[in-house]
Chains A and B, each alone.
Chain A
């Protein structure tokens, strides 16, 4: 299969240099692709689709009033990152989550960072994810966000930027693991030649992290994954993680808080105490006693039990306060403030519309910027300046002026590409990367992460809910032989 016509124009390509040479770590994969035929690749693609079907890897899309389980879209050509580069990224991710957890803990306790005026107090007042009910709580190790999914992108000059931190209920890790399984089936011979870092131990790392925050010290505390149920788009993942960890998959109605303010599961053998809850339900629905009164998903009294220290919640309620596009702009300052270090991974330069001067800049340059709402995820409610119509820009100008705190502007990042198989050729498609970071008594970063790819030519939107797919991600160590 020839790669002669492969051209990623001014975008940085993850596997190939502009003059068509393989980047570090990609050599064997590229020479394999060059040697093989389109027929062979299409056959393997077909095999992959079949594997995904039989393995039942799905995601749920809600459309036209019905939930549809779709097969997970996946491209067979992996994305490669050399171990050398990855080590730096890994250090950067750990540094970042450490600082974020310091920040959250500080915010709900002493609020030193506000007193020292590093971050304006107003920001807190207007944060949608700040929970006053959590003031004064001190979770073990000072850690609030135990599971974090950080989105990374690479600009045309090769710099890797942090696009956002997902500290509420980040999803995608099951697809990362399943992608690897599928790739192993599709390209077994490449795994023989390569030193690819394994990633299958994530569920046991997750279990260890969750165990480490158990209020009752024991080897196998009772860990439960709390799901909103089958209608949630990430239900596949909830069930996958519960199964892989050997934890119970529970819904709110399976749990009850006893008179002793401990949390119990209703089992056929009677009530059984739960130590750690990996909750995949948003804060606001977790306990109708405290938050959304009408929530049927949550458990009445859960927050009481948590405050008493009888149950651990991951992520802790209120952790989402740092998962806010405006707070994001302050992360480099937090790293300096709490750790006295410079950020290893840079932020995408951002303009906070809350700040008058920066807002003026955003409004004057809407055509060239990406405007994001502060509290949305999944790529919803964004304006991509260069691709927008006049009317859309006018609409966003109105929105920004009405609620400046809700928006930030960022320059358009020319996000990098990876060779992707189309019907009869290999073409560049844009990607991002979501590694997952765990923080309990220790820290752990997945070897690579979930590479999401915009399967539509020229598109920059990688979200699976909006036509994106995914790729396996290889962290490749140099061969020792």
Chain B
């Protein structure tokens, strides 16, 4: 398989996942706003921080408000985290490798692209926004489902999955991070009564509420939510689950030893996390930062091993420099 094609598949997977995650995130947070006391304003800041685009945003806008944040996240084509931009990148990566994927998937991606192009501007108003975002999520599910049941689960497919799962692990760790900063950092402005709602919101941002309730019967609380989203091995949007998917996909690729070693290392780190202690000692943010750095290393190794064309010895050096 050509490295160029593999790289495009990887980015296709990442961007498709980003589209879905972003759509859900905006949806859930917009709903949350209706529940919170009017004094709570920082929710729009949080959205910007979760998508990791604070610098870009505040360069353009002084203050995060509903209108400019929604516009920035849905329709701003200069924001690589925006839905419009991500959908376009999805399409562009597939467009240049069309012969590799089942032709119907190209049509679906094209439809999604047209849909977003037509409606992204209208969706900036509250009415209609929910429907718009739901439709996007549906498209993503349709594309994912189509690929996994109509495409050979070969190297090509695996690169899509690698991109998807890395993006997913990254997003989950960000949501937990920001969610916790909100909750633990704004104790003074948010009455305790809203704790429960906020934690539920964190779970809902990841479609995890129902599954959480089925597995953890206790009332929603910080320790359990964080532990569930990071360490649970059964729910597909947790960091642990994404890592075991990455492990599985990468284990059938050639020359995978460096990447595989990094993944296993991270799986061990996650398995050994003592969430309760970390939260008690207020080190959650640091811990999540570390996890993101580890995820970044996996991304780097994927790039260097399969796309960038460093020689084997260079990859070894790279891996040594990182660990």
Contact = CB atoms under 8 A, between A and B. Distances in A.
Please tell me the size bucket of the interface on B: 10 to 19
Contact of B4 (A242, A256, A266, A269): A266
A254 B4 contact: yes
A473 interface: no
B103 A270 contact: no
A230 interface: yes
B4 A251 contact: yes
A251 B155 CA distance: 20
Interface in B71-111: 95-96, 98-99, 103
A386 B99 CA distance: 45
A433 B14 CA distance: 47
Given A266-B309, A269-B255, A242 B99 contact: yes
Contact of A254 (B3, B98, B103): B3
Nearest to A229: B96
Interface in B1-29: 1-4, 6
Instruction: Select the residue from B2, B3, B96, B312 with max chain A CB neighbours within 10 A.
Output: B2
B98 A267 contact: no
A248 B99 CA distance: 11
Dominant secondary structure of chain A at its interface with chain B = mixed
B96 A248 contact: no
Contacts of A267: 1-3
A196 interface: no
Q: Which 3 pairs across A and B sit closest by C-beta, in order of nearness?
A: A269-B254, A266-B3, A239-B99
Interface residues of A, number: 19
B273 interface: no
B221 to A, nearest CB: 44
A251 B4 CA distance: 9
B209 interface: no
A292 interface: no
A268 B158 CA distance: 12
B211 interface: no
Given A254-B2, A265-B2, A270 B254 contact: yes
Given A239-B98, A254-B4, A268-B255, 13 more contacts: A56-B103, A230-B95, A251-B4, A254-B3, A266-B4, A266-B309, A267-B2, A267-B3, A268-B1, A268-B253, A268-B254, A268-B306, A270-B312
A242 B99 CA distance: 10
A265 B2 CA distance: 7
A227 B278 CA distance: 55
Contacts of A242: 99
Dominant secondary structure of chain B at its interface with chain A = helix
Interface of B: 1-4, 6, 95-96, 98-99, 103, 155, 253-255, 306, 309, 312
Nearest to B253: A268
Contacts of B309: 256, 266
9 contacts: A230-B96, A242-B99, A254-B2, A266-B2, A267-B2, A268-B2, A268-B3, A269-B1, A270-B312
Contacts of B103: 56
Interface of A: 56, 229-230, 239, 242-243, 248-251, 253-254, 256, 265-270
B2 A250 contact: yes
Nearest to B95: A230
B255 A270 contact: yes
Contacts of B6: 268
Contacts of B99: 239, 242-243, 249
Nearest to B309: A266
Nearest to B305: A268
Nearest to B312: A270
B9 to A, nearest CB: 10
Nearest to A240: B99
Instruction: Select the residue from A242, A248, A256, A267 with max chain B CB neighbours within 10 A.
Output: A267
B254 A248 contact: no
B316 to A, nearest CB: 14
Contacts of A254: 2-4
Given A229-B96, A239-B99, A242-B99, A253 B4 contact: yes
